[in-house]
Amino acid sequence: MSMITADPQDVPHVQSFTFAPEYLEKAKEQIAHYPPGRQASAVIACLDLAQRQAGGWLPRAAMDHVAQLLDMAPIRVYEVATFYTMFQLKPRGKYLLQVCTTTPCWLRGSDAVMKACRSVSGVGPGEISADGLFTTVEVECLGACVNAPMMQINDDFYEDLDEDSTHRLLEAFKRGETPKPGPQVDRQTSAPVGGPTTLTSIPGGAAPRDR
């Protein structure tokens, strides 16, 4: 499993961090899901909010603030932040390109997706493109094997990719556009390409149920 690790020489020092009011409100909503004394259970949600406020990565000051908010030892928060690949420990581009390279995606052409990411961004995995837009990382299975190869860009899945469609996708992001997530071929979610091949009519002429 690949992630952006924290080399102290590459990480800018952030002196302090405090949740902005709108993020603090969301953090309190997450904490309220748990009984008194169990607020540490909200650590992943609070770290995610801290990362979003900080611009897509977790400065140590942000982790310390979460530890204080949840009455946790800072080391316990660091353990969570360094375990999950959803947390980035150094700055990254505006768009985090998480390319699945596990077996199903690899068999379907994830190498070509990685090649396109490098071609458009001009940098290798873990680096920030010169324009500040892209950082590419290889990740383990993202659970969309039937739509392989695929990648997650920030919060969205882009599926059924090849080298050309990945190029088009990233060039659209460079232009400030937000391409539609999901399959990048002619299919509905995970249905067969070209449309359904079974259950294409209602058995016995029964009227469809209202939904």
Element (H, E) at 21: helix 21-31
CA–CA dist 72, 74 (Å, integer): 6
The closest alpha carbon to 99, from 184, 179, 3, 6, belongs to 3
The residue-averaged pLDDT of 27-38 equals 96
pLDDT of residue 211 exceeding 60, the answer is no
Tokens 């860009």 map to which residue? 153
* R_g over Cα of the chain: 21
- First-to-last C-alpha distance (Å) of the chain: 42
**How high is the pLDDT of residue 161?**
97
**How high is the pLDDT of residue 97?**
97
Task: For 121-177, write each residue's pLDDT tens digit.
Answer: 999 999 999 999 999 999 999 999 999 999 999 999 999 999 999 999 999 999 999
The residue-averaged pLDDT of 55-72 equals 96
CA–CA dist 7, 165 (Å, integer): 33
The closest alpha carbon to 81, from 39, 44, 28, 31, belongs to 44
pTM of the model: 0.80
Which amino acid is residue 21, in one-letter code? P
**How high is the pLDDT of residue 11?**
65
Specify the pairing of strand 134-139 against strand 182-183. unpaired
Confidence of residue 4 (pLDDT cuts 50, 70, 90): very low
